[in-house]
Amino acid sequence: MPTITLQVGQCGNQVGQALFERLAVQSAAAADRAADTELLRWGPDGRRRARCLLVDTEPKVVNAVLAADAEGLFSRKQCYMGQSGRGNNWAFGYNQLNVITSSAATRPVSQPTRMAPGPTALGPAWISSTATEDPLQQEFRILDQLYDGIRREAEESDGCPNFLLIHSLAGGSGSGMGSRVLEHLRAQFPLSHIAAASVAPRAAGDTPMQSLNSVMALSFLQAYADMVLLFSNQDLMDACQRTSVAALLPGGLAGGSGGGLSDINRLVAHNLTGFLWPLSGADALGGVGRIRDAVATVAADPCTKLLETWTVQSHPNVAVTGLWADSLRSLGSLMPRADPLRGNATITTAGAMLLTRGYPSAAVPPISAGGAHSSLLDAYIKSLGPHGAAPTLIPDASLVLRCGQPGIVREMRKPAMTASASVSMPSGTALSSGNKPLASTSTSPSLTVVSNRSNVIGLLEGTVQRALALCDAKAYLHWYARHGCSVEAVREAAHTLLDVAGCYRQVHRLPSDG
């Protein structure tokens, strides 16, 4: 199943650049050429090309990506750029409104239309489905050009494509234009699965308007995306400070310390590669894409579609029989276990999809006396800690396990977690098995987890709290009003996210804070 990637804004293009560098390395190491057809395509000259579009409202970052593209993965025909930027303003990025200044007043070209009857956890507070670009200025024609580029890219696919949006929540282009693109994709490709890789800003602050931008962008992600891989800038920075992360990144951490933008971008790309790369060529050709798989298992509930993903690789000196335990131990140390945005509350896990690559048969328990399935599941549960330790699993969780080619889905349930053949499962957890490790360390098996966890609650509620505080203080809202977005729209989007946080509390069986 082809997947078209849309890299929007500075963050989206830098992460996308790192992602396709990793995918190109993986493609070169793959024996099965069909495996890379999901994210890459082969041109008539025999060279790999990325299935992606590069979008930004200023040319600097896109030009830098093209200049650094030694593999020739990107083409200038795939680039859609403005010249002036969007000033860290979601409303400007979304509406593309030109402000007309006269002696009488300053007014936008048009106003967004309101939705009825109001916001819910399944829809945004308002949308504008009409083109609002000023036809007199080429700067505001970027959306028309982009929509035509999306259509052409989709027509070159062999089937109904999936889409992956890579962007940040804090800026104007990534959050605002990303929301507009997401709305267009859902309207024009209703049968496609749409995923987003969204980078959330630090609570301490990256830009003054980040909370307002994040609230609006998250409300559109909730409405139009099928799943959202949410990357917290703070969690990524913390992970890059650990020496164990250096082994995951080609060349180690920049400067030997970690935590810089380059390290963060490469870590996000590493995690996305583990999730997106097909488990086999048959998967890529047969429409068994990882996005569709994750939507059907981990993000099946449309109210709880905000997920996280991490990828680890085994140490080359680990004995074969200890590979699985070593990978789970590394994964458990990498994933945050307490949520600082909720007073260091324990993070619970309601579902996870595990993707394994390159594990020798000796590393997997034999199928006897309960089977490899329950042995692997039991090891996974132990790696998360016993009940009451962090991160914990909700009691009535279910687990889907895939092994072999083709994958066979099995769901098992039991009230209590034990070490026997039947074990308690996390809700919507799925394991899949492939036979090729990631190319960054070609001899090391890799383990990727895509999980539905309760740390989303702290991020949502904290972002909403800060955005509503700005609304109450009437801070920066004149910049939104100038481009067609009212304070009422922000408040309704904030209440949408509170509904989503409430859904997560219900799924994770957590009490309300107020």
pLDDT score, position 127: 41
pLDDT of residue 205: 76
The total number of residues shown for the chain amounts to 514
Question: Residue 67: pLDDT above 50?
Answer: yes
From CA 108, how far away is CA 2, in angstroms rounded?
39
Q: At what angle do helices 455-473 and 210-224 cross, to 10 degrees?
A: 130
More reliable by pLDDT, 274 or 368: 274
Range of weakest confidence among 146-160, 379-393, 442-456? 379-393
Q: What is the pLDDT of residue 314?
A: 74
Mean pLDDT of 161-188: 95
Q: What is the distance between the alpha carbons of residues 88 and 498, in angstroms, rounded to a whole number?
A: 24
For the stretch 46-59, pLDDT in tens is 788 999 999 998 99
| 127-136, 266-275, 421-430 — most confident range | 266-275
| Mean pLDDT, residues 403-415 | 30
Residues 6+ apart with CB under 8 A from 124: 115, 219, 220, 222, 223, 224, 493, 496
Q: How confident is the model at residue 325 (pLDDT cuts 50, 70, 90)?
A: confident
Peptide bond into 445 cis (omega under 30): no
Go through the domains of the chain in sequence order and give each one's CATH number.
Answer: 3-460 (3.40.50.1440)
pLDDT for res 107: 34
What is the average pLDDT across 25-37? 73
Asked whether residue 113 carries a pLDDT value surpassing 50, the answer given is no
Average pLDDT over the chain, rounded to whole?
A: 76
The stretch 69-84 carries a mean pLDDT of 90
Q: How many CA atoms lie within 13 A of 514 on its CB side?
A: 5
Mean pLDDT of 330-355: 80
Please check whether residue 289 is in contact with residue 162, taking contact to mean a CB–CB distance below 8 angstroms. yes
How many other C-beta atoms can be found within 10 angstroms of the C-beta atom of residue 187?
11
pLDDT of res. 233: 92
Q: What is the pLDDT of residues 459-512, one digit of tens each?
A: 999 999 999 999 999 999 999 998 889 999 999 999 999 999 999 999 888 887
Beta-bridge partner residues of 106: 101
Tell me the residue ranges of DSSP E strands in 260-379: 306-313, 338-339, 345-346, 348-357
Q: How confident is the model at residue 423 (pLDDT cuts 50, 70, 90)?
A: very low
Dist. CA 432–CA 407, nearest whole Å = 7
Task: Give residue 443's identity as a one-letter amino acid code.
Answer: T
pLDDT higher at 311 or 246? 311
Per-residue model confidence (pLDDT) at position 312: 84
> What pLDDT is attached to residue 378?
57
4 φ, ψ to 5°?
Answer: -100, 125
Cα-to-chain-centroid distance, residue 467: 22
